[in-house]
């Protein structure tokens, strides 16, 4: 292989397939690729999964992941807060019914490098929701996608966000990372995967790393020092970089629409906290992503 180089990075979790880019997706894609950033566009429901595949077919350096985000399993409207609560986005979901054959067809495409994003989200439950029902639904569909990942022999891109408070934990009774761990331990994904947008402690990260998973870090780690300890403790060989754009724009671009090029600010933050060079962060995390996703 040629130098994995300081000049190519991979944004392992982006949503250029979302409506935030409906007017300029091609422009952003071209600029991103020209800047040496490869991208995995991740679907959150059938329409965005199909669009991710369509884009991936059209451009070298662009890849896709297909799946149903747990929040798209129930019809609902909620406000999306980033951890600083500076930005607030209204999201409406239709409540998708999982159609195995349609996803299998997408998943088989050679530019599809992962199944996702799929997983558990206990972060947006309302107190009036029947939480047991919602959790069971999320788990049931997650298991279907684990099966699909094993059928097509691809890794999985996991979304997992827990409850927001102790009071909510009492209501939900279990936290998402604990439930996720139990599911992955009992239902192994052959090609492993990424716990994307990881927001847990090192103790939690370590459990998933020991199961063979990588930890996806994005702009959240640039919002102050809350994740510095995690960054210091997680080995570079267990990290992949991502943006989760259009959301979670890293400092210093916070307030703008996020885009894959800004993945470099995540690399810079990790380098700064670990006291190593940005090149080393980019080199190792790119290698991690290339090996996992076979890019």
Residues near Zn ion (CB under 5 A) are 244
| CB of 282 closer than 8 Å to CB of 6 | yes
User: Shortest distance, CB of residue 65 to Zn ion, whole angstroms?
Assistant: 9
Q: Which is nearer to Zn ion, 179 or 242 (CB)?
A: 242
- Considering only the C-alpha atoms of the chain, give the largest distance between any 2 of them, rounded to a whole number of Å: 56
Query: The tokens of 60 are what?
Result: 């070298």
User: Shortest distance, CB of residue 247 to Zn ion, whole angstroms?
Assistant: 7
| CB of 197 closer than 8 Å to CB of 241 | no
User: Shortest distance, CB of residue 14 to Zn ion, whole angstroms?
Assistant: 8
SS3 state at 96: coil
| CB of 96 closer than 8 Å to CB of 72 | yes
Q: Which is nearer to Zn ion, 158 or 271 (CB)?
A: 158
Identify the residue whose tokens are 């090149």: 279
Tell me the residue number closest to Zn ion, measured at CB: 244
Q: Which is nearer to Zn ion, 67 or 283 (CB)?
A: 67
**Measured distance CA(64)–CA(41) in Å, rounded:** 5
SS3 state at 250: coil
User: Shortest distance, CB of residue 256 to Zn ion, whole angstroms?
Assistant: 18
Q: Which is nearer to Zn ion, 82 or 244 (CB)?
A: 244
SS percent in the chain: helix, strand, coil, step 5: 45, 20, 35
User: Shortest distance, CB of residue 160 to Zn ion, whole angstroms?
Assistant: 11
Q: Which is nearer to Zn ion, 227 or 247 (CB)?
A: 247
């Amino acid at each position: 292989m040629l130098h994995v180089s300081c000049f190519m990075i991979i944004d392992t979790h982006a949503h250029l397939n979302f409506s935030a880019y409906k007017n300029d997706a091609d422009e952003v894609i071209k600029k991103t690729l020209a800047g040496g950033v490869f991208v995995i566009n991740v679907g959150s429901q059938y329409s965005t999964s199909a669009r991710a595949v369509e884009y991936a077919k059209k451009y070298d350096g662009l890849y896709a992941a297909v799946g149903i985000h747990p929040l798209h399993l129930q019809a609902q409207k909620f406000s999306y807060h980033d951890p600083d609560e500076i930005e607030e986005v209204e999201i409406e979901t239709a409540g998708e019914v999982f159609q195995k054959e349609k996803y299998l067809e997408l998943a088989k495409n050679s530019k599809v490098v992962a199944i996702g994003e799929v997983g558990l989200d206990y972060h947006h439950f309302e107190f009036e929701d029947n939480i047991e029902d919602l959790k069971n639904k999320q788990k049931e569909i997650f298991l279907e996608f684990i099966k699909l990942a094993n059928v097509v022999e691809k890794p999985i891109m996991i979304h997992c966000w827990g409850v927001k408070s102790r009071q909510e934990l009492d209501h939900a009774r279990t936290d998402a990372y604990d439930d996720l761990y139990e599911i992955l331990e009992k239902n192994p994904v052959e090609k492993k995967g990424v716990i994307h947008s990881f927001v847990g402690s090192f103790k939690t990260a370590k459990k998933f790393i020991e199961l063979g998973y990588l930890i996806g870090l994005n702009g959240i780690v640039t919002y102050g020092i809350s994740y510095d300890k995690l960054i210091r403790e997680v080995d570079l060989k267990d990290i992949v970089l991502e943006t989760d754009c259009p959301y979670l724009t890293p400092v210093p671009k916070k307030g703008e629409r996020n885009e894959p090029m800004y993945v470099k600010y995540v690399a810079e933050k990790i380098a700064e906290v670990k006291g190593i060079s940005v090149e080393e962060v980019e080199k190792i995390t790119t290698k991690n992503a290339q090996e996992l996703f076979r890019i």
